Amino acid sequence: LSFNSSQGPMCDLLWSDPDDRGGWGISPRGAGYTFGQDIAETFNHTNGLSLISRAHQLVMEGYNWCHDRQVVTIFSAPNYCYRCGNQAAIMELDDLLTHSLYNIFIEWTLIEIFCSLLFEVPSVFSNHCRKNIPIHCAEDELFSVCCFCSLRNKTHKQQKKATDDNKQQELVNKVSATIGSGNLRLAVVLPEGEDLNEWVAANICDFFNQISMLYGTITEFCTSERCAVMSAGPFEYVWTDCSNPKRSIKCSAPQYIDFLMTWIQDKLDDESVFPSKIGVPFPANFMEVARTIMKRLFRIYAHIYYQHFENVERLKEEAHLNTSFKHFILFVQEFNLIEDKDLQPLQEVIERLTSKER
């Protein structure tokens, strides 16, 4: 759909970005409009809200999980719905601007998002199963949609420790019990008309946020004492600064991951590598940088699977991890971002995760 300035509020809801992008204009994806913090704050104040966020960002970045229970999500493109194994709400408009609200639920998610509407909603809407419930209402009622989220209670149970010899097979068995049936491979395909570098850059930012959040849940278990070496089973990693490739540092897992996440954050903040302004070209070596980032992010997944999967299970987060990693690997495969030899630590897990996506 295309909109003119008189339909600005609708544009604000459909295509928003709380970051300041200089007011109205065409978004990097070539559709819709963007706006800055002033419009976001005005909208929030008028509607008694605290935050505007896109549904997938709400889950991946957390926003304190509930943000005072006053959150309105900006309904994202459908390819975001299964990202991180989250439950999300999607708004779709037909040619008459009649909208349908879909509650997407994946049974193993850590996060339950309940939609509260100012107009009547059937009680079945928040049931713990996948539902498609069309809601037809006046155009102005679009603004009344709010999304609340809550974290399920976490329970702890004892897990049997596996040996290194059968660790990967045990991971394969556990992964099989939690992966979903949604076709994530379609979600990673380059959208028609999208710039490849822009698409890869945007997804790297998302994966960085996902992994940061996942690792953040098990940092209390990943200490210098318990993980004195950065490893994934029999595979060990040393930190090498790209600015000085001849110097390698053997360090603990938490120190390695701190080095890595700091290095990636510096890359993301570097306008010469990840330009944020529309029309600024990516560097000629961008895909080389992207492959290095993805290869190193994979090592965090591998470390979590081998060294901390029991911790993840105790926190009831294994499905969240598996779905996130599945999305990561499908993206890697789609754009050939990591060599097979570097994926070896989790090769069997990868085969199991992606076997139904071919």
Helices 286-314/318-335 angle, 10° precision: 160
Measure Cα distances from 228 to 54, 214, 236, 250 in Å.
Answer: 39, 20, 11, 9
Q: Is 227 marked as binding a ligand?
A: yes
In this predicted structure, the answer to whether residue 40 has a pLDDT above a threshold of 80 is no
Average the pLDDT over 266-290 and give the result. 90
Q: Which segment of 159-173, 240-254, 299-313, 332-346 scores lowest on mean pLDDT?
A: 159-173
- CA neighbor of 213 nearest in space, from 315, 285, 128, 96: 315
| Residue that has been written with the tokens 């306008």 in this structure | 271
* Dist CA 259 CA 243 (whole Å): 13
- CA neighbor of 323 nearest in space, from 63, 104, 157, 101: 104
* Dist CA 114 CA 58 (whole Å): 13
Q: Is 45 marked as binding a ligand?
A: no
Average the pLDDT over 38-63 and give the result. 51
Q: Is 222 marked as binding a ligand?
A: yes
Q: Is 251 marked as binding a ligand?
A: no
- CA neighbor of 63 nearest in space, from 153, 149, 152, 154: 149
- CA neighbor of 43 nearest in space, from 90, 21, 11: 11
Report which DSSP code applies to 26. B
Tens of pLDDT, residue by residue over 215-255, are 988 998 999 999 999 999 899 999 987 666 677 888 999 99
Q: Which segment of 45-59, 80-94, 195-209, 270-284 scores lowest on mean pLDDT?
A: 80-94
Report which DSSP code applies to 101. E
Query: What are the sequence ranges of the domains in the chain?
Result: 5-151, 164-357
Tens of pLDDT, residue by residue over 170-186, are 544 544 444 444 567 77
* Dist CA 58 CA 54 (whole Å): 6
Can you read off the two tokens belonging to residue 117?
Answer: 């509407």
Q: Measure CA 354 to chain center.
A: 18
- Is the CATH number of domain 164-357 1.20.140.30? yes
Burial of 220 (0-12, 13-18, 19+ CB in 10 A): exposed
pLDDT band per the 50, 70, 90 thresholds, residue 30:
very low
- CA neighbor of 35 nearest in space, from 44, 283, 168: 44
Across the chain, mean pLDDT equals: 63
- CA neighbor of 298 nearest in space, from 326, 267, 263, 258: 326
* Dist CA 171 CA 185 (whole Å): 22
pLDDT band per the 50, 70, 90 thresholds, residue 55:
very low
- CA neighbor of 28 nearest in space, from 288, 275, 264: 275
Q: What is the DSSP string of 166-186?
A: HHHHHHHHHHHTT---S-THH
Say what the pLDDT of residue 247 is: 76
Q: Do residues 324 and 214 lie in contact, with contact meaning Cβ atoms separated by under 8 Å? A: yes
SS3 call for 301: helix
* Dist CA 202 CA 144 (whole Å): 29
